[in-house]
Structure 1
């Protein structure tokens, strides 16, 4: 049973590829897409503070507005069943005394007062001394983005395991895309765009997957 499960997981990784064009006539069911998003929700994050928000862009007008400033999704934006923009929080929302962090500890993690204080102190020390993120807007944002990519990977793998294709996308003008989202009332300055990902069903089979061998990328010490 274990060997079969391992082979099923590896087969999903072999199936998954950066799908450049989807079949626009095939839509992901609500149940299947909810499953994909649930794997994103359950993904791990540093201190469990979930710095992300997932914006599912199904509005065709907004997709058309994004197209001229999203050069890496010229085929994916018009054809994908579901298109997701992953936002990551900025420094103002990541400090230990920010409303988001305080809410996470009190209302999500349900920590009592003393435990919140202890965890908040440890987290503040981490930001200030271990990773030196305080005072550096860009570095703090990129730290949040790295965590968002964990959710991205989990969602793409989960999709592949049920036969759904995906494509991660970084090919966009970040400033212009964010301006569109702000104008549409989708995001504010507490967030920035980490990445995008399209989901759907392939229209053609991909080329064989190419990767380096384990011997070239794994070092045992």
Structure 2
């Protein structure tokens, strides 16, 4: 039997209709610490492959750092100027099956017994061999980066459920953003690279048109 509240599904769908990609926020309104911690917690609790959590959430509140990012992020200029909170999500670059991070994550965070660590590491090695990751560092980063979008989506949905606006952003120079963040000591000597950005705040105006989507029968195929 479902443990969801009777109106939970309607509430979630209402939040999806409410959400829109906010280009400029009301800069006079700030998200409370409690509400933003709630949004971050939904990112932290998001699923990842084998529970490796290959992400880092950098909350950029320093105006000077925002200005640096704005110079190389044309798709984020309105949000960087007005968002209550601006997050750069980093993807871990080395999630190799036998890396220190992976083994410590399983031992110290997931509290797996040593025989399970060995078993899971072996399965991960096989997957990474078949997918070509062990021969291509770019594929390893992309695997992590894809997973960051799961966390970002959950954070945006959580925000919408609380009537907090958001906007996902890819319109930036990846190499330039990496350089800026590296100079700030945020990439941990190459252990992370920039994946995506997302801004949060409160809309300064209502969307100029209703949400449009393709009909469900054009998007779904049953096989």
TM-score where L is the length of structure 1: 0.96
**Offset, 1:132:** 2.3
In 2, Cα distance between the equivalents of 1:47 and 1:109? 10
Give the number of equivalent residue pairs: 218
Q: Does 2:119 align with 1:118?
A: yes
> Helix, strand or coil for the counterpart of 2:30?
coil
5+ residue gaps, structure 2: none
* Equivalent residues in 2 for 1:9-88, closer than 5 Å: 9-88=12-91
Q: Does 2:219 align with 1:212?
A: no
Corresponding position of 1:168: 168
> Helix, strand or coil for the counterpart of 1:166?
strand
* Equivalent residues in 2 for 1:87-126, closer than 5 Å: 87-90=90-93, 93-126=94-127
The structure 1 segments of at least 4 consecutive aligned residues displaced by more than 6 Å after TM superposition are none
**Offset, 1:137:** 1.3
Corresponding position of 1:184: 184
**Offset, 1:3:** 4.9
Corresponding position of 1:143: 143
In 1, Cα distance between the equivalents of 2:219 and 2:88? 30
In 2, Cα distance between the equivalents of 1:156 and 1:109? 26
In 2, Cα distance between the equivalents of 1:60 and 1:2? 41
In 1, Cα distance between the equivalents of 2:114 and 2:186? 33
